[in-house]
Amino acid sequence: MNRIVVVGASAAGLAAVETLRREGYEGTLTLVGDEPHLPYDRPPLSKQLLASEWEEDRLRLRRPEDLAALDLDLRLGAAASGLDVAGQRLRLADGCELPYDGLVLATGVRPRRLPGEGAHVLRTLEDALTLRERLQPGLRLVVVGAGFLGAEAAAVAWRLGARVTLLEPAAVPLAHAVGEDVGRVLSQAHRDRGVDLRCGVTVTEVTEDGVLLGDGEVVEAEEVLVAVGSVPNTDWLAGSGLTVGDGVVCDEHLEAARGVYAAGDVARWYNPLFGTTMRIEHRTNAAEQGMAAARNLLAAPHARRSFAPVPYFWSDQYDMKIQAYGFLRGHDEVAVVDGDLAERRFVAAYRTGDRVTGALAVGMPPKAIRLWRQAIAAGAAWGESVRVPA
């Protein structure tokens, strides 16, 4: 293998190229990124950067000299536009074609948008800096979507003195992921601070005056942030020969086709620990997956390892530190196993079938949830290997 191309220059792509070099690969290594920036961290965009606590140079994942030491053919500001798997060639938007022996796809996701013009989204450095310039005391801001990204941005805007309206189509924000009781507790943190949280409402359009709701009401605002989820960046793979379905479909080794692997937010793979396919949009998963894809790309077929992690994510909202392990979606039961929901200081465990499959902590020290991570990794039975209320 003499020519490896990694498409996507964020956390997963960076982890892949670093791992390839660390594992002894000495051939040509090309890193393609559609943004003009060196790899940077995205979670602080909705927190520290938006709040002006950090400046953009602090988001940089590696120094220029560290990247130079990897001896990369670095193609920044170059979007991938097509792929020929059979011919092993990658096409860029500028018309350049890159032959490869091995390929890692780490093209991430893009924000969903609503009809209308002028709304902000929050995915890139420029997105965050543009919104940050607008956030002033007294500004009326509508945030559409009360998921983790929307909630984090709403919390920052409130802290900066903005008058925030948070609109959510579900009856209970995040209930599909964390359960209704936990979702209500997290939601109450917004209301306690005077954020106008409205649930069960549909936004049909962004207007010059704010947003238009499904019932005809206009919620007025000077600025609108749309945080209604994301779409995997796979459109450019049409006709490539790869299987695409809510991401690049991979096996348990992260292989999408012979010599082609995927990692990060764009990868949908079979996780044998949970016995299901999943696509995870979390920073920790992106780095771990980039490393695993690189190792399996270099390994002999019999030496490849399944990628079977316990997913982890965190969120900072107001004074709440939220941490979660496992795969919470599709759970059958939630039990508070430590602390108290009303105090927003607790650990909740999640059951799917007869197994512990997730745990979420709010306002608790890391050690309070570590036992649960171990239980999830071990496939512990509900109520036997771990302390669960009868």
85-122 per-position pLDDT tens digit: 999 999 999 999 999 999 999 999 999 999 999 999 99
Instruction: Give residue 384's pLDDT.
Output: 60
Residues 6+ apart with CB under 8 A from 339: 345, 346, 347, 362, 363, 364, 368
Instruction: Give residue 389's pLDDT.
Output: 40
Residues 6+ apart with CB under 8 A from 384: none
Of 266, 265, 272, 274, whose CA–CA distance to 243 is shortest?
266
132: left (phi over 0), alpha (psi -120 to 50) or beta: alpha
* d(C-alpha 334, C-alpha 338), whole Å: 12
H or E element in which residue 191 lies: helix 180-192
Instruction: Give residue 366's pLDDT.
Output: 86
Instruction: Give residue 236's pLDDT.
Output: 97
Q: Within 13 Å, how many C-alpha atoms sit on residue 52's CB side?
A: 10
* d(C-alpha 140, C-alpha 289), whole Å: 40
Contact (CB, 8 A) for 292 and 264: no
Q: Which two tokens stand for residue 98?
A: 């890159």
Q: Which two tokens stand for residue 255?
A: 């292989």
Instruction: Give residue 197's pLDDT.
Output: 98
Specify the pTM: 0.95
| 3-state secondary structure (DSSP) of residue 250 | coil
Of 226, 248, 228, whose CA–CA distance to 237 is shortest?
248
Alpha carbon of 116 to those of 38, 58, 141, 147, 208: distances in Å? 32, 34, 16, 21, 9
Instruction: Give residue 371's pLDDT.
Output: 87
Q: Where are the beta strands (DSSP E) in 85-195?
A: 89-92, 97-99, 102-105, 109-111, 140-144, 163-168
Instruction: Give residue 215's pLDDT.
Output: 96
Q: Which two tokens stand for residue 234?
A: 């796979």
Contact (CB, 8 A) for 51 and 135: no
pLDDT tens per residue across span 246-302: 999 999 999 999 999 999 999 999 999 999 999 999 999 999 999 999 999 999 999
Instruction: Give residue 172's pLDDT.
Output: 96
Residue ranges in the chain whose pLDDT is less than 70: 384-390
* d(C-alpha 340, C-alpha 317), whole Å: 18
Contact (CB, 8 A) for 184 and 172: yes
Of 354, 268, 269, 281, whose CA–CA distance to 306 is shortest?
269
Other Cβ atoms closer than 10 A to 147: 17
The full set of domains in the chain, from first to last, is: 3-110+230-303 (3.50.50.60), 113-226 (3.50.50.60), 319-377 (3.30.390.30)
Other Cβ atoms closer than 10 A to 194: 10
* d(C-alpha 390, C-alpha 387), whole Å: 9
Instruction: Give residue 390's pLDDT.
Output: 39
Other Cβ atoms closer than 10 A to 115: 11
28-33 and 3-7 as β-strands: parallel, antiparallel, unpaired? parallel
Identify any residues that bridge with 166 across adjacent strands, giving them in sequence order. Answer: 143, 197
Instruction: Give residue 387's pLDDT.
Output: 57
The b-or-e profile of 289-301 (16+ CB within 10 A means b, else e) is bbbbbbbbbbeee
Contact (CB, 8 A) for 85 and 105: no
Q: Which residue is listed with tokens 């979670």?
A: 43
* d(C-alpha 389, C-alpha 144), whole Å: 37
* d(C-alpha 203, C-alpha 214), whole Å: 6
